Each structure stands twice: as C-alpha cells, then as structure tokens.
Amino acid sequence: MPLHRAEVTPAPKAAPLPETPVIIAAIPKDALVMDNTQMKLGTTRFLNGSWRVSVDVKDPITGKPPSLRYQIQNNKGIARVVHGDNVVCRAEIFSGLHQTGELMN
C-alpha cells in the first residue's frame, strides 16, 4: 500500500461583515420601563398603580380577548382576568426582584 505525503491547506478566511449601527427605537409613552437605578436598589416601585394588559388571544366561544388588569401597591396586589362571557378570576399577587435583576411577579 503506497503512502503519500499529506498536504495541509489553510481554511479560507471569511470576509468580515460590515458593522451596522444599532438603532434604538423610541419607547412608547405608555410602556412599562424599569430604571437601572431601581434594579440596583432592588425596588419594584415602578409597578405601583393600575395596569391593563392586552393579549393577542381570543376566547373560542365569544371571539373576544380576555381582559387582564393588575393593581399593585408596595409589591402586593390583585390580578383580575375577565373572559368574554363575564367570567371573572381574581388572584393575589406579589412582585420583587431576584439578585440577578430578573423580575418575579
């Protein structure tokens, strides 16, 4: 069996991609925004108040989306879900921050 000398061929270098500037979109005025200072302090004061959540899901019977409302004060509050046929569900909720800065709700 004859042996041949191996040849090493370098891998072709990929051309660098041109850098594209990062575009930061304007934050809507009604968006829920957490300031980095609040994250450092571990506070969820920015959640205080009444909030309404819009979901892109519809009740298969009524064809209406459920209504979600939150009322939070000092890390405690109530979540309320109203389905299209006026079925109301309520639950007590709490909020806080993990040490990683991740919001627990």
- State how far the Cα of 32 lies from the Cα of 69, in Å rounded to an integer: 14
The model's pTM = 0.61
Q: Is residue 1 in some structural domain?
A: no
- State how far the Cα of 13 lies from the Cα of 61, in Å rounded to an integer: 58
Residue ranges making up the domain that contains 46: 41-104
* Domain tally, the chain: 1
- Structure token digits, residue 12: 């072709």
Q: What is the pLDDT along the chain (105 residues), one digit of tens a residue?
A: 567 777 888 888 887 778 888 888 888 887 777 777 877 777 888 888 899 988 888 888 888 888 999 999 998 999 999 987 888 999 999 988 877 777 776
